[in-house]
Amino acid sequence: MGYYIYSILAENSLKLFAQNFEYSDVISSIAVDDNVKSGYSHTAILNKSLQSKYIKPEFNSLRANNNISYSGKSREFRMMNSRDFTLKGNLKKEIIVVDDIITTGSTLSQAISCIDKSDKNALFCLTLADAGRK
């Protein structure tokens, strides 16, 4: 059921964004830790919907070495337990980072730091929802 819900949400939000997005060159989009769980990956579905003339979705590119769950955890917990991201693949210089939800911002901050260390540029991040900072 979740697969269908995420597909509908992606179709009605990120895909529309991608159809109207213009840039001077083709850029990569990468999903935050698009590991398959329960038969699909929330973030991979969102990332796939960004395929367009200017955006090339890449998969299995931003991986957490620490698979600890952040769900329901405080900002302090998240800061003490880094996701320790690794960036892989033949990515464009400029990147859009895709995640399903922002809770505290720590996951996206860590992802951007990893991208910066890899001599790439995170242009911006796209998410479906902002749960508000805690």
Span 28-41, average pLDDT:
82
CATH topology of domain 2-130: Rossmann fold (3.40.50)
Amino acid 97: pLDDT: 98
DSSP labels, 1-63 = -HHHHHHHHHHTTHHHHHHH---SS-EEEEEET---BTTB-HHHHHHHTT-SSSEEEEEEEEE
Amino acid 134: pLDDT: 46
- Residues 93-129 have pLDDT tens digits of 999 999 998 888 889 999 999 999 999 999 999 998 8
Q: How confident is the model at residue 132 (pLDDT cuts 50, 70, 90)?
A: low
